[in-house]
A and B are shown apart, each in its own frame.
Chain A
Amino acid sequence: MNAMSNLIEKMTRVLTELRQPGKGSSMLVGVLLATTLAMSAANLLLPADSAFYVSTYTITLMGKYLCFAMLAMAVDIIWGYCGILSLGHGAFFALGGYGMGMYLMRQIGDRGVYGNPDLPDFMVFLNWQELPWYWFGMDQFWFAVLMALAIPGLLAFVFGWLAFRSRVTGVYLSIMTQALTYALMLAFFRNEMGFGGNNGLTDFKDILGFDLQADATRVALLLVTTLLLVIAFITSRAIVQSRLGRVIVAVRDAEARARFLGYRTERYKVWLFVYSALIAAVAGMLYVPQVGIINPGEFSPLNSIEVVVWVAVGGRGTLYGAIVGALLVNYAKTRFTAIMPDGWLFALGALFVIVTVYLPQGLAGLLQRFGRSESVQAARREEDAGSDSGISTREVNA
Chain B
Amino acid sequence: MSNLNQFAGQARELLRRDTTWPFLVPRQRSPDVSKQVILYLEGLNVSFDGFKALNDLNLYVNDGELRCLIGANGAGKTTLMDVITGKTRCDSGSAWFGQNIDLLAHDEAEIAQLGIGRKFQKPTVFEAHTVFHNLELSLQGSKGVWSALTASLTSIESDRIDEVLKIIGLQNARFQLAGALSHGQKQWLEIGMLLAAQPRLLLIDEPVAGMTAEEAERTAELLTSLAGKHTVIVVEHDMEFVRSIARTVTVLHQGSVLAEGTMDQVQNNPDVIEVYLGEEA
B21 at the interface (CB under 8 A from A): no
By the criterion CB–CB under 8 Å, are B125 and A244 in contact? no
Q: List 24 A-B contacts (CB under 8 A).
A: A242-B149, A243-B149, A243-B151, A244-B151, A247-B148, A256-B120, A257-B124, A259-B109, A260-B85, A260-B87, A261-B112, A264-B144, A267-B144, A268-B145, A379-B176, A382-B175, A386-B171, A389-B171, A392-B167, A393-B221, A393-B224, A396-B167, A396-B225, A396-B226
Q: Contacting A391 at CB < 8 Å: which of B117, B125, B129, B218?
A: B218
B138 at the interface (CB under 8 A from A): yes
- Given the complex of chains A and B, what is the CA–CA distance between A243 and B118 in angstroms? 22
* Given A261-B112, A385-B172, A391-B218, 4 extra CB contacts under 8 A: A246-B133, A258-B126, A388-B172, A395-B166
Q: Interface size class for chain A?
A: 35 or more
**A397 to B, closest residue via Cβ:** B225
Please indicate the chain A residues that have their CB under 8 angstroms from the CB of B112 in the complex.
259-262
Point out which of A244, A250, A396 has the most chain B C-beta atoms below 10 A from its C-beta: A396
Please indicate the chain A residues that have their CB under 8 angstroms from the CB of B152 in the complex.
243
Q: Interface on chain B toward A: helix, strand, loop, or mixed SS? A: helix
Please indicate the chain B residues that have their CB under 8 angstroms from the CB of A247 in the complex.
137, 148
B53 at the interface (CB under 8 A from A): no
Please indicate the chain B residues that have their CB under 8 angstroms from the CB of A159 in the complex.
none
Please indicate the chain B residues that have their CB under 8 angstroms from the CB of A246 in the complex.
126, 129, 133, 136-137
Q: Interface on chain A toward B: helix, strand, loop, or mixed SS? A: helix
Q: Contacting A261 at CB < 8 Å: which of B128, B143, B175, B219?
A: B143
Please indicate the chain A residues that have their CB under 8 angstroms from the CB of B172 in the complex.
382, 385-389
Please indicate the chain A residues that have their CB under 8 angstroms from the CB of B85 in the complex.
260
B164-187 interface code vs A (CB 8 A; 1 in, 0 out): 001111111101100010000100
A239 at the interface (CB under 8 A from B): yes
By the criterion CB–CB under 8 Å, are A244 and B148 in contact? yes
By the criterion CB–CB under 8 Å, are B126 and A250 in contact? yes
A263 at the interface (CB under 8 A from B): yes
A271 at the interface (CB under 8 A from B): yes
**B230 to A, closest residue via Cβ:** A396
- Given the complex of chains A and B, what is the CA–CA distance between A366 and B115 in angstroms? 44
Please indicate the chain B residues that have their CB under 8 angstroms from the CB of A392 in the complex.
166-167, 169
- Given the complex of chains A and B, what is the CA–CA distance between A263 and B197 in angstroms? 12
Please indicate the chain B residues that have their CB under 8 angstroms from the CB of A250 in the complex.
126, 129, 137
B108 at the interface (CB under 8 A from A): yes
